[in-house]
Structure 1
Amino acid sequence: MTAEPDAARIAAAVLAVPGVAGLHGGRFGEIATLVPPRRVVGVRVRDDDITIALTARYPLVAADVAAQVRAAAGVRGRPVHVVIADLTDQPAQDKEKVS
């Protein structure tokens, strides 16, 4: 039996990927995981899979960013879906901290 993936740890690891500008909750905020007393937006952990939605920094090669995000997430035993939900051309700044 493997431990349940930690949404907050995944979010922090994804934010450290160079081409990632931030996490994205999806159109209606549906990509999130409830970790009482808060929600981890941009990472949805389910029994069968994990979805990570993000804003990427342009220019990019989407497949490369997705591969880097999957590697950073470090999840074994279930599919990890990466959704590039938005793009930005803003230069890298201090990324939002996951609290």
Structure 2
Amino acid sequence: MTTPEQHHENSAADLADRVAEVVLEHPCVVRLHGGEFGTISTHLPGRTVTGVRVGEADEPIEVAVVLRLRHPLPDVVTELRERVTTIAAVPVDVTVGDVVDEQRNEPGTETGSCS
């Protein structure tokens, strides 16, 4: 029998994984970001989803990302918020933890394009 706490852990794990997946599919996202002191994360049994924080049912989902600096950041943040909202019926807070300039050939930016 599943306890309410276990059910919440399972649904939080599924949601955190799905949110991470749809965010990382965006061509402007380089990677997820844990935020200051790694506070934006979902702690699950045996693992952590860094860059996505799924709280209680009425709390917003928090997402933190590192973006490619190719489009206006407010536009990209809006697109990310819309993507997450399609799978979660709660407000979504998006934090840009860092940006990378692909023109400078910074490590980790050579794949994908932000178009």
**Aligned match of 1:29:** 38
The alpha carbon displacement at 1:56 in A equals 0.5
1:58 lines up with 2:62 in the alignment: no
What's the % identity of the aligned pairs?
Answer: 36
CA–CA distance in structure 2, aligned partners of residues 76 and 44 of structure 1: 13
The aligned amino acid for 1:43 is V
Instruction: Kindly provide the CA deviation profile for residues 25-60 of structure 1, in whole angstroms up to 9, marking residues without a partner as x.
Output: 012000000122200000001121111000000122
Question: Hey, what does 1:69 align to over in structure 2?
Answer: 80
CA distance in 2, matches of 1:76, 1:10: 8
> Comparing both structures, which one devotes a greater share of its residues to strand?
1
* Distance in 2, Cα, partners of 1:68 & 1:39: 25
Report the TM-score, using the length of structure 1 for normalisation: 0.81
Q: How many residues align?
A: 92
Provide structure 1 residue ranges, at least 5 long, that are not aligned to the other structure.
95-99
d(CA) in 1 for partners of 2:75, 2:87: 17
Residues 1:25 and 1:8: Cα distance change in structure 2 (over 3 Å): same
Higher helix share: 2
Q: State the TM-score, normalized to the length of structure 2.
A: 0.71
Letter of the aligned partner of 2:48 in structure 1? R
| The one of 101, 105, 112 aligned to 1:89 | 101
Alignment of 1:36-55 (within 5 A): 36-47=45-56, 48-55=59-66
Q: Look up the SS of the partner of 2:82 in the other structure.
A: helix
Q: What is the aligned-residue RMSD (CA, Å)?
A: 1.8
User: In 2, are the aligned partners of 1:21 and 1:92 still within 8 Å (CA)?
Assistant: no
Q: Which amino acid aligns with 1:54?
A: V
Partner-residue secondary structure (3-state), 2:38: coil
Q: Which has the higher contact order (CA 8 A, sep 6+)?
A: 1
Q: Which has the larger radius of gyration?
A: 2
